[in-house]
Amino acid sequence: MTLEKLPFTRPTLDEATIASVAATLRSGWLASGPRVQELEAALSQYLGGRPVRTMTSATAALEIALYVAKVGPGDEVITTPISWCATANVILRLGAKPVFVDVDLDSRNLLLEQVEAKISARTRAILPVHFSGLPIAMDQLYALAQKHGVRVIEDAAHAIGSAWHDKRIGSFGDLVCFSFHPNKNMTTGEGGAIVATAPDEIRTIEAYRFNGVVKPAPGELDVLFPGIKANMSDIQASIGLGQLARLDEFNARRRELAARYYQLWQHSCPLRLPARGDTGHSWHMFAPLLPRETAGMTRLEFIRQMDARGISVGIHYPAIHLLTAYRQLGWRDGQFPNAERIGRETLTLPLFPAMRDEDVDRVVNATNEILGR
């Protein structure tokens, strides 16, 4: 019997959400409108009442957050070399310099003791990633930022529904950016959002996502600065409303699936498992390492053998500073040992709410078989 192909992730879209999208299409209002306003209000309520503004992507959200924080040419932003490349790309796009700091090998989060050593007179912001939904040590992060008078822009692309000491990521802090890409814990097809507090910064966010346009009065229009086109559509928002209503359910199932991986590998595991976290970990993905010294094969060969068994495996992520665009700017091998090891050895195993317990068993059994355990 041929088993169904098991992807490493897949969104869950129910019939009510599909019907809602169809109703939006029939309404004739497809761009930003009432459904976007409804989603922003619902996200705000989910995050304790803080204002939320939606975007077409988390990349756009990060760029706008950097602009709001007045990051520009000559400035430095301390960030991680283990993330999707957009985390660093947006810093370069605004003319600033990403200053990379190594990460913990198991949590993949920034080593904050190294962050402080990199703060200089040019540092404008710290941009951490809550990797796979595991929050960075927020108390330590914000104490450090306050001590040195720098902004914090949280790349919370993985962390919608995550919590630090029972407080949801985004319900507190400085500027917080979420992703609603199809592989995230909730999706709008493509999309993102910024959480902010200061009224003047919210107005800047609203203008930036719509080409810098403001409308002082009916029939009047002005452009304050050259923004981008990044406003979410009502079609996307219709998907997001259905997803947000089930987000806690989705995240609870993700935690159950992650727990099963740990249970099955509690006595012997051929992989180096990621840091587990507590109930505040929303488990965007499950990404252990394949140790090169003991695996007996390359990562590519492991991925091919899993694929032959009908199991998809991803790679999240290669180390940013070793990508061509960053090597050309002077970064090189050996600067961030943990990040480089993660980039060489990381595997993203299947984890999504529609998975069954027996799907986890299948992944674990296949891994053990391939690696001779």
Residues marked as catalytic: 184
Numbers of helices and strands, H then E, in the chain: 14, 11
Q: What are phi and psi of 30, to 5 degrees?
A: -105, -30
| Helix 357-370 vs helix 299-308: crossing angle, to nearest 10 | 130
**Angle ∠(133,138,142) on CA atoms, nearest 5:** 140
- For residues 60 and 194, give the distance between their C-alpha atoms in angstroms, rounded to a whole number: 9
| DSSP letters for 146-178 | HHHT-EEEEE-TT-TT-EETTEETTSSSSEEEE
Give, rounded to a whole angstrom, the gap between the first and last alpha carbons of the chain: 24
Greatest C-alpha distance within the chain: 71
- For residues 98 and 343, give the distance between their C-alpha atoms in angstroms, rounded to a whole number: 18
Closest CA relative to residue 339, chosen from 102, 89, 87: 102
- For residue 182, what is the DSSP state? T
Closest CA relative to residue 336, chosen from 59, 79, 136, 133: 79
- For residue 266, what is the DSSP state? S
